[in-house]
Amino acid sequence: EDQVTQSPEALRLQEGESSSLNCSYTVSGLRGLFWYRQDPGKGPEFLFTLYSAGEEKEKERLKATLTKKESFLHITAPKPEDSATYLCAVQTDRGSTLGRLYFGRGTQLTVWP
Amino acid sequence: EAGVVQSPRYKIIEKKQPVAFWCNPISGHNTLYWYRQNLGQGPELLIRYENEEAVDDSQLPKDRFSAERLKGVDSTLKIQPAELGDSAVYLCASSLEQGVSTDTQYFGPGTRLTVL
C-alpha cells in the first residue's frame, strides 16, 4: 500500500533558526513528489515538484531535495511569514490512479520572532 | 490570472439535509479534481475529471455523493443526505491536462462543511 509519512507533526522555530522537514514515502513507481504550503482557512499552495532522486529545487528560503525513499524541505533562516502547514504528496505511475496525489498529514511550522 | 474559484466558502447544515459545492477551474485547465480534507489530515481524492469524463471516482462514496462537470468546465459536488462524518473541507483543484507529463494541481480555497 502506498504511504506518505511526514515528520515532525509540528515544529517551532525561532526566526533565523534553520531546520528541515521530512517526507518519507513507499510507493511503487514514483512519477513525482510535490510540496505544498497551506495557510489556515486556505487551499494548498504549490511550491515544488521533484521527479527523480538527486533532484533539488529552491525558492527563496526553501530548498527541496529528493532521494529514493524520502524528501526534505530545508528552511534557511525562516521568518514568521513562513509559518504554515507544509504538505508532501506523491503521484504514482499506475494507470488506474494516474494523476491522483497521495498526501501526508503535513508538518505544522511555527516561526516566532 | 484568476485561480480556482469555489463557493460557498462555508456551509452549515443539519444531518440528512442535501448540500452542493461549486467549482470553477483555472481557464483552460482540462482536468478537475475534488478532494476532501479532514481536520489534521492531508487531502484525499474523491473524483477526477478529464474534460467531461470522470476517469477516477473509485474513492467517491457513491451511495450519497455525486458529481458532474457539464461542458467540461464548472463542476458541482453534491451530498445527499449528509452525515455527521461528512464534516470536512472540500477542495477543488485543476491542472492543465493529464497525460505523459506530471501536471501541477492548483487548489481553490475550499468549502468548509459542518454537519450538525
The residue count for chain A: 113
Q: Does the structure show a pLDDT above 60 at B101?
A: no
Taking the Cβ of residue A44 and every Cβ of chain B, the question of whether any pair is shorter than 8 Å is answered with yes
A43–B93 C-beta distance less than 8 A: yes
Give the pLDDT band of residue A74 (cuts 50, 70, 90).
very high
Across the range B84-101, mean pLDDT stands at 85
- Strands of the A62-66 sheet, one edge to the other: A3-7, A19-26, A70-75, A62-66, A56-59
- CB neighbours of residue B109 within 10 Å: 17
CATH topology of domain A3-94: Immunoglobulin-like (2.60.40)
Taking the Cβ of residue A27 and every Cβ of chain B, the question of whether any pair is shorter than 8 Å is answered with no
Q: Does the structure show a pLDDT above 70 at B98?
A: no
Distance of residue B25 Cα from the nearest chain A Cα, in angstroms: 13
Residue B87 to residue B111: CA distance in whole angstroms: 10
Distance of residue B3 Cα from the nearest chain A Cα, in angstroms: 11
A32–B98 C-beta distance less than 8 A: no
B48–A100 C-beta distance less than 8 A: yes
B21 and B74 Cβ atoms separated by less than 8 Å: no
Pick from A90, A100, A105, A107 the residue to mutate for testing the B interface (most B CBs within 10 Å): A100
A3-7, B1-5, B108-112: which has the minimum mean pLDDT? B1-5
pLDDT tens digit sequence for B59-85: 999 999 999 998 889 999 999 999 999
Domain assignments of chain A as residue spans, ordered by start: 3-94
- CB neighbours of residue A19 within 10 Å: 15
**Considering CB atoms only, which of A4, A89, A97 is closest to B56?**
A97
Taking the Cβ of residue A51 and every Cβ of chain B, the question of whether any pair is shorter than 8 Å is answered with yes
Q: Does the structure show a pLDDT above 50 at A17?
A: yes
